[in-house]
A = this chain, B = another copy of it.
Amino acid sequence: MEEIKIFCPATIANVSCGFDVLGLALDSVGDVMIVRKTTEKGIRITKIIGQDLPLETEKNVSGVAGLALLEKSDYDGGFEIEIDKRIKPGSGIGSSAASSAGAVWAMNELLGKPFSNLELVQFAMQGEKLASDVAHADNVAPAIYGGFTLVRSYDPLDIISIPTPSELYATVIHPQIEVKTSDSRKILKTTISLEKGIQQWGNLGGLIAGLFQSDYDLIGRSLHDNIVEPIRSILIPAFDDIKANALKAGALGSGISGSGPSIFALSKGEENAKQVAQSMRETYQPIGIDFDIHISKINAQGVKKIA
């Protein structure tokens, strides 16, 4: 295979009580990339449509992630990358992760899969480092593994695939305001109360159990975050209303996607996800801030070949 066309999913990180550890991949929101082998060494970004992003390899997250892979590979050629960028940068649904994860996943396919998923995550994390100064795995892990992933530890990197209940859907609203990841990190407190910590790990345990058992009610009961959400949500206009109305519309739970500004809700079934989308639309329309709404099944597969 000399060329591959792939779908690179958007992802939701910091799934409520899973702050900094739990992420999930979306199925109908993502970028499209074409990656092809070249005899010339190195990586060239030949085309980006949809967004104004740098073509220079060293300044582009897919370029940097790809270089990390090439460095560990005995392949003596290079790659060209074309990106149809459909996920808006800064939306909080893993725009940079989709490009980083997509690039290394595609290269691995073209080289006959010499690398494991865990290694691909490590390469893609270099793209994340370029994008946000932190080589985090919260988005690239679900983008590569698919479904829900738990980043149990960074040292050593340990990623656990968590099963995805078949009727689980996400609805995401992206208010088109800018919240810098660095700002949303800055306002976090460095200490928390032990009491809230206990609630958080109790809820994360419940959420993991709910995902394993396809227990939608337990998933809903566990989707709480009393630590980060109350602080970060002040940066997101109408967060409390969006969440309250999503729950009223029947969502299992709702929270901040990544570091925002997107807000996600999880639902049992597509019908409910559409009702939640409607509630989000009605809540946001009067505010006067532009927004996108996405409805998607959870993507159990991660990055995938489409041609």
Contacts and interface: CB of A to CB of B under 8 A. Distances in A.
Interface residues of A, number: 39
Contact of A194 (B153, B192, B202, B206): B192
Contact of A221 (B158, B200, B201, B212): B158
A153 B191 contact: no
A189 interface: yes
Residue of A150, A151, A207, A227 with most chain B CB atoms under a 10 A cut-off: A150
Contacts of A200: 197, 201
Copies of this chain in the oligomer: 2
Interface stretch (A18-26, A65-73, A111-119, A284-292): A18-26
A18 B152 contact: no
Nearest to A163: B212
A83 B201 CA distance: 36
Nearest to A152: B206
A257 interface: no
B199 A201 contact: no
A203 B152 CA distance: 6
A16 to B, nearest CB: 11
Contacts of A162: 205, 209
B194 A191 contact: yes
A199 B17 contact: no
A17 B150 contact: no
A190 B190 CA distance: 14
B151 A202 contact: yes
A188 interface: yes
A1 interface: no
A177 interface: no
Nearest to A156: B221
A150 B202 contact: yes
A201 B21 contact: yes
Given A152-B221, A160-B218, A191-B194, 13 more contacts: A20-B198, A20-B202, A150-B206, A150-B209, A152-B202, A160-B209, A162-B205, A162-B209, A190-B193, A191-B191, A191-B192, A192-B197, A197-B227
Interface of A: 17-22, 150-153, 158, 160, 162, 188-195, 197-209, 212, 218, 221-222, 227
Q: Which 8 A-B pairs have the closest CB atoms?
A: A152-B206, A201-B201, A21-B202, A208-B208, A212-B212, A197-B197, A201-B204, A20-B198
15 contacts: A19-B198, A21-B201, A22-B205, A150-B202, A151-B202, A152-B203, A152-B205, A160-B205, A189-B194, A191-B193, A197-B227, A201-B204, A204-B205, A208-B209, A209-B212
